[in-house]
């Protein structure tokens, strides 16, 4: 049952409205005057917990406009709807009531009690319809958001799977050689260094002692001795006719082991290696 609190200084009129509203199914209570103090007014309204306030303007203790301003400024009562029911028809009063947030302004001389009650019913019906539409919209928005979140989650999972796949491929391509052992087929470049690592570009068997050969760049401890035989290889058209030195018959180097990845600026990649003959 909707509760209406009516501030009305004419007691006979208030009693008449009490009968009409109660017959229409409303919980109706009236006050002939608002309290003189703002705090008391707010406490009185909070105590009654009305769904709607009917407000007259001319009252002995405090005007309805002043009372409305107090209620609209207080955060605990500002959302309670107020309909003005008054004899004042001046434009200034109507404008001020609207600025204060009145949902309706009724002039007593132009309406009968049944119209006042119908106005209140329409207000509650519209409010419920708006609330219902809001709930429906909220439900639809929630459903759309949930669907969107599911799509985002699917895309995220798919993206993670792609990343995992890419990392796995990179791992397989780059790290599969780690700790692998290879038989040396030839050494095509060698740069011994006393400090830091010695560098050698190797051609190694990747299928045991025979099979196909691949290039591999290795950095060895500086103490590693290759004792390779140098031979000059003539340049080709593809190489711009530039010749280069190759090294083979490297004594003491038959097999190498990869210890770790130096960098992946390849392929071929660069590794830390050791001789394991």
Could you tell me where the beta strands, DSSP code E, fall in the chain? 3-7, 27-31, 52-55, 82-86, 104-107, 181-191, 198-205, 213-220, 229-233, 244-248, 255-263, 270-275
Classify residue 109 by its DSSP letter. G
* Residue 26 CA: distances (Å) to CA of 4, 80, 107, 121, 232: 7, 16, 21, 10, 110
Tell me the per-residue pLDDT of 152-194, one tens digit each, with 9 for 90 and over: 988 899 999 998 888 877 666 555 555 578 888 888 777 766 6
pLDDT at 100: 94
pLDDT at 112: 92
Please state the separation of Cα 214 from the chain's center in Å.
50
Q: Domain segments of the chain: what residues?
A: 3-130, 176-275
Intervals of the chain under pLDDT 50: none
Regarding pTM above 0.75, the answer is: no
For domain 3-130, the CATH superfamily is Response regulator (3.40.50.2300)
> What separation, in Å, do the N-terminal and C-terminal C-alpha atoms of the chain show?
97
* Local structure of 188: helix, strand or coil: strand
pLDDT at 130: 60
């Amino acid at each position: 049952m909707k509760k209406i609190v009516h501030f009305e200084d004419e007691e006979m009129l208030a009693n008449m409205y009490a009968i009409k509203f109660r017959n229409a199914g409303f919980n109706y209570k009236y006050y002939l005057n608002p309290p003189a103090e703002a705090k008391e007014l707010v406490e009185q309204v909070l105590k009654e917990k009305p769904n709607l306030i009917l407000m007259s303007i001319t009252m002995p203790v405090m005007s309805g406009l002043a009372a409305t301003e107090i209620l609209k400024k207080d955060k605990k009562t500002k959302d309670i709807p107020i309909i003005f029911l008054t004899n004042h028809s001046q434009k200034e009063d109507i404008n001020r009531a609207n600025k204060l947030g009145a949902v309706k302004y009724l002039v007593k001389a132009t309406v009968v009690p049944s119209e006042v009650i119908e106005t209140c019913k329409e207000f509650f019906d519209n409010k419920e319809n708006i609330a219902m539409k809001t709930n429906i919209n909220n439900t639809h928005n929630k459903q759309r958001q949930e669907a969107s979140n599911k799509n985002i989650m699917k895309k995220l999972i798919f993206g993670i799977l792609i990343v995992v796949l890419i990392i796995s491929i990179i791992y397989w391509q780059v790290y599969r050689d780690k700790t692998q052992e290879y038989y040396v087929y030839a050494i095509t470049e060698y740069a011994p260094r006393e400090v830091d690592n010695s560098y050698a570009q190797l051609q190694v068997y990747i299928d045991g002692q025979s099979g196909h050969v691949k290039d591999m760049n290795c950095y060895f401890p500086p103490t590693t001795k290759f004792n390779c035989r140098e031979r000059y290889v003539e340049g080709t058209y593809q190489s711009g006719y530039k010749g280069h030195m190759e090294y083979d018959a490297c004594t003491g180097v038959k097999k190498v082991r990869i210890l770790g990845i130096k960098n992946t600026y390849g392929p071929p990649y660069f590794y830390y290696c050791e001789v394991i003959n």
